[in-house]
Chains A and B, each alone.
Chain A
Amino acid sequence: MTTTSTSAMGGIVRRKEDPALIAGKGRYVDDIKLNGEAAAVFVRSPFAHAKINSIDTSAATAMDGVLAVYTAEDTRHLGDLLAQVAVGSLRPLLADGAVHHAGEAVAMVVAENAYIAKDAADAVMVDYDPLPAVVDMKDAVKDEIKAHEDAESNVLLTWYSHDWWPGVFELEDHRPAIAAAKERDDVVVVSQEMTNQRLIPVAIEPRAVLADYNSGYGRVNVWSSSQIPHALAGAIAKTFGMTSHDVHVVAPEVGGGFGAKLNVYPDEMLVVFASKELSRPVRWTETRREAAYSTIQGRGWVGTATITGTKDGEILGYELDAIADMGAYSQNFTVAIPVLGLYVAQGQYNVPLAWQITCVHTNTQTTDAYRGAGRPEAIYYVERIIDMYAAAIGMDPADVRKKNFFKKDEFPATTAIGLTMDSGNYEYNLDTLLEDVDYDGLRKMQKDARDEGRYIGIGLSTYVEVCGFAPSVLAEFGFGWDAYGLPTSFSGSGLVRVNPDGSATVIIGTGPSGQGHQTTWAQVVSERLGIPVDAIRVTHGDTFESPTGVGTFGSRSAAVDGAATYEAAEKVRMKAAELVAHMLEASAEDIQFADGGAHVAGSPGHTVTWAEIAEVAYKPHKGPEGLEAGLEAHAVFSPGNATWPFGSHLAVVEVDPGTGDVKILRYVAVDDCGNRINPMIVDGQIHGGIAQGVGQALFEEAIYDENGNLLTGSLVDYPLPTAGDLPAFELGWTNTPTDVNPMGVKGIGEAGTIGSAQTIVNAVVDAVRPLGVTHIDMPLRPRKVWDAIQKARG
């Protein structure tokens, strides 16, 4: 394979990002070094809930090489950490009078280097009065112990599907109809309580932040391992009374995000504070164990799902009654994450819906967006319970799904919560998967294996996702950066500039962490302008470069910032056509761009290069009279709707009933994200997404003891999938473009995760169903599977 010179969209192009990264020359925050740097280390609480009587910093302050020790006394005036959805208790930058989760930062030590700072942190003496902690979210609902000692209740609010945004959506309450259906003789009611366990995101690069405040310029330069540099710049400006144009945030190479870096964090504010106080650059680099306390966690739901349906597979109602664990504090989107679940609550099924989900504080680390953010939880519940319903009525799980799908001709389709799904072709997608794997043949193989005493399971899941949150009005619900002083919706930003030498610079408002934006965006611009991919440089993650920016999360970048770039390139193309028309004495409508230049349609021999076009653009005396000099355009793209990708996944597993061990024999996914700009990158996103869903299904769980101590804070106790745990993935695809953006693309960053956890669980339960097992809560470690088998056998 070679790099194609001008690759149209849909082409495989080796990544422009890779030459630096494979040579060890990529620059992550911790690789950047400034003169005179000091290092920050945090003193963290050993208690999940305690009063702070006093903090004695004198011994630490006296140590050689220590520059300062800060507590809430010093930082209280900066206010709490800003949160986009500010419902519940907000986090102080440093614990102020009490701590509310283990590992909460109580003091910050700044020293000449991190070794000295760590020694000094150990010398900070904190006098605590431990208070009872509430750890389990079911206990939190009872309110016998308050996570915040002065709060009236641990319960923040309950989201109801029929009333999630009063005043904007007038929705039908489906509960009476579902209750009536339950009285019918010809229905079955299938119900199961299930846990969607709390996870730790574990980007392999720990978070890091470096701040350099310069009082002469009145400006601060910040490098942070962030998915949302512009929001961070806004938050810093608002916290320190600056304007955002004096805050330069750069997210250089970012070593994985997955939502963990989709947050504004207290450490980011505190290193800016210290740099300002000390007039020196200050750095903080998270350690792996610390990350379990300093970075958000994800999932953490428990709920009962119920399907009411006829005995021949018609679903008359789907209900979920759940609790979601917010942890100790509300941060960026914390309380809104369940709403993202609500968006896709009914999956691909056109069924009556009644969801309610109660958000509670506990004395644990904050939860927020982790890859999928609400959507994997939602799809898990609907896809597990539909399998149980299929088993209860003795129908094939694929047939039950098909019977209840939104049909192709129902799109654009309105969901039970009043949103419009852009495009879908669910039955075709599922049929493609079933044909690819020879589903009937697989079922026969399963039966033959059973006859030989082997326990093979086939698990199926479909999913629908929502990504690139839109329309703009959602900003008023909280999906914007207003809280960070930047009143915005989640629009995209793309700036395209053809330079005087004919090369192109593209500046976008994203904050990627491995998604290959430099390559993909170069393809988008190359397709519009005919400039080779190699002659296009793409910059992202820089608040002084990009006029505006929202960041990278929610599978939004290609569909929103990509579309903005497409439109900016189109504007450049229109202007360039006028220039070329002047140069070639032709009409602008007849100018075509290809192969690094332009020509008049029908006369491919008569061409000008981009360097020649650019020269005319930047020497206006050579161009048409009255045309503005220069050759660049900026576009902000605000889509009229989100995009709604979907797909079908299937796993074949074998369970050893003697040990409970699960082996994945095959994993097949057929995803539909509309048009694909670079299929190689799309495949990679799906692979990684599946691995994280499999990780949740089989291995990962953040476990707190009854006192709120995290027992799984290191990679020793929190096992991630390794190469040996996973099979090769078999991918197919269908293509149902969207009309929400000009490229017809949907998001794909989270799809694999949303589709996979329940696929594995469905497969494992399918394998051991003959033994009487109907459900096992994740993670399906051997001991749990073995226990479930023993219990079922009595």
Chain B
Amino acid sequence: MQVSMTVNGSEVSGDVEPRTLLVHFIRENLRLTGTHVGCETSYCGACTIHVDGTPVKSCTMLAVQANGANITTVEGLADGDNLHPVQEGFWERHGLQCGFCTPGMIMSASALLAENDNPSEDEIRHGIEGNLCRCTGYHNIVRSIEYAAAKMRGEEPAPPDWTQDFEGATA
């Protein structure tokens, strides 16, 4: 079947089997490999993208269902060389380790902040519950999103909470 859609601002089209998942269309046909596959049950969220502005797990959507949609993947989030505040936050606050869940996490977080640029820690934690991370324990992901929220509000982000300045470490 023929499908066409807008991905990261470009018109794209392709010929796909009806059973082709959207994530496979994005990864295999478009060779945009930033969107990852971590499970088959839509639990891990590594494949999260924006479809018409809404975060969607692209492993549970068929390519043909996205016909005519406006899609943003992690590759399309930055404005040229200017990182999206959420990307900047993840870099500044060590919000990633292995990086595999990161694109999906960033897409969920950016959608969360588009709705509410001043979320509480609890709102952030529940807002990203659909995205699993096995490396960070989420602590620095939350701090990264708080950093981004502050930037989006035009405020100075809170300083990092690394243990670096603890005194009296050596007996």
A interface residue numbers (CB < 8 A to B): 1, 10, 12, 14-15, 17-28, 30-31, 33, 115, 202-206, 253-258, 287-289, 408, 425, 428, 432, 513-516, 679-684, 687-692, 714-716, 720-724, 726, 728-729, 731-736, 752
Contact = CB atoms under 8 A, between A and B. Distances in A.
Contact of B31 (A33, A205, A515): A33
B7 interface: no
Contact of A687 (B129, B136, B171): B136
B97 A514 contact: yes
B162 A23 contact: no
A24 B73 contact: yes
Contact of B101 (A204, A513, A721): A204
B144 to A, nearest CB: 10
B162 A687 contact: no
A21 B106 CA distance: 11
Given A684-B94, A734-B171, A255 B125 contact: no
Given A204-B132, A254-B98, A715-B44, A690 B137 contact: yes
B10 interface: no
Nearest to A729: B139
Question: What does DSSP make chain B's interface, helix, strand, loop or mixed?
Answer: loop
A19 B137 contact: no
Residue of B43, B100, B131 with most chain A CB atoms under a 10 A cut-off: B100
Contacts of A732: 163, 166
Contact of B98 (A1, A514, A691, A721): A514
A516 B31 CA distance: 26
Interface in B4-53: 17, 19, 27, 31-41, 43-44, 46
Contact of A204 (B44, B91, B121, B162): B44
A735 B100 CA distance: 32
Contacts of A17: 99
A22 to B, nearest CB: 4
Interface in B36-95: 36-41, 43-44, 46, 73-75, 78, 83, 87, 90-92, 94
Contacts of A24: 32-35, 73-75, 103
A682 B164 CA distance: 10
Interface residues of B, number: 63
Nearest to B74: A24
A514 B135 contact: yes
A256 B135 contact: yes
6 contacts: A22-B87, A23-B78, A204-B135, A205-B36, A716-B43, A728-B121
A253 B99 CA distance: 8
A680 B75 contact: no
A620 to B, nearest CB: 42
A288 B169 contact: no
Contact of B90 (A18, A202, A514, A724): A18
Given A688-B136, A732-B163, A22 B102 contact: yes
Contacts of B163: 679, 682-683, 731-733
Contacts of A205: 36, 38, 98, 100
